[in-house]
Amino acid sequence: MSFFYTHQSEVLNQNLVELNGKINVSFEFFPPRTKEMEKILWKSIDQLKHLKPKFVSVTYGANASIRNTTCKIVKDIKKNTGLTAAPHLTCIDTSKDELKIIARDYWNDGIRHIVALRGDFTDKSRKPKMYAIDLVRLLKSEANFYIAVAAYPEVHPDAKSAQADLINLKQKIDAGADCVITQFFFDIENYLRFRDRCAVIGINVEIVPGILPVSNFRQLEIFAKFTNVRIPLWMRKMYEGLDDDPESRNLVGVSIAIEMVKILSREGIKDFHFYTLNRSELTYAICHVLGVRS
């Protein structure tokens, strides 16, 4: 074994030891559409709950049936696991009175955390009557929810400019939001510059980085296109030739996510939000290597 390899291994081991028990994690799930998908979801929740996440969130679909599923899943998570469950809530196609009823229902069932979002129309020509800032104000007027809002380190696709996007985020914080969860990203420098710009403008809440473990690069390209996320050239090269090799893709995805968390942790980040896509394997492996244990 060469000295170089031994030295690199020692550095890696030391970095992981330093992280052991010093980071917090949270996980995002989405409502299942079929019985089979529901089984996969609960299998993932059952595995990841042992990592003692700060909270788990459940996304909120565009139609009523999916929204009802979100509500049921969130309440079942709280009841069956004791985890802090945070439903996503959008305001783009729901009246204020309906939102108030939803908020009161959650509060009465012991749900204290909400991820407040504007949401998106499938018809881009429509203009929303409410925005996330309005939803934050409405929720805070109903009860003292702990509210997370979204941010885009690489700028929201609908924002007029990076500065306008940042000002909008500041307004959400001023309206009562308690923390920020970012869209997934792979350019760490972009995230760090964004965090610095948040501090300059007076955003003093936690900016939790969103981490997406990538098992399917082609699917990632689709996600990235409509979320305005840049895929670095080095990352494209890592997945080259792996279209028919899922095991190698998983190993690459795990290694990238681990390296991101290590670097961000050295920059003072202690909380990380994982987009699980309802699959626990990659996220569990990443957290295990990073020292997040039951």
Q: Which residues are catalytic?
A: 28
Name the DSSP letter for residue 49.
Answer: G
In this structure, are residues 205 and 178 in contact, taking their beta carbons and an 8 Å threshold?
yes
Q: Count CB neighbours of 189 within 10 A.
A: 10
Strands (E), 7-63: 24-29, 56-58
Half-sphere exposure of 166 (CA within 13 A, CB side): 18
Tell how far CA 246 is from the center of its chain. 23
Q: What are phi and psi of 85, to 5 degrees?
A: -110, 135
| CA 272 – CA 173 distance, rounded (Å) | 19
- Residue 161 Rama label (left phi>0; alpha psi -120 to 50; beta): beta
Residues contacting residue 173 through CB under 8 Å, at least 6 positions apart: 149, 180, 203, 204, 205
Q: What are phi and psi of 74, to 5 degrees?
A: -60, -45
In this structure, are residues 91 and 132 in contact, taking their beta carbons and an 8 Å threshold?
yes
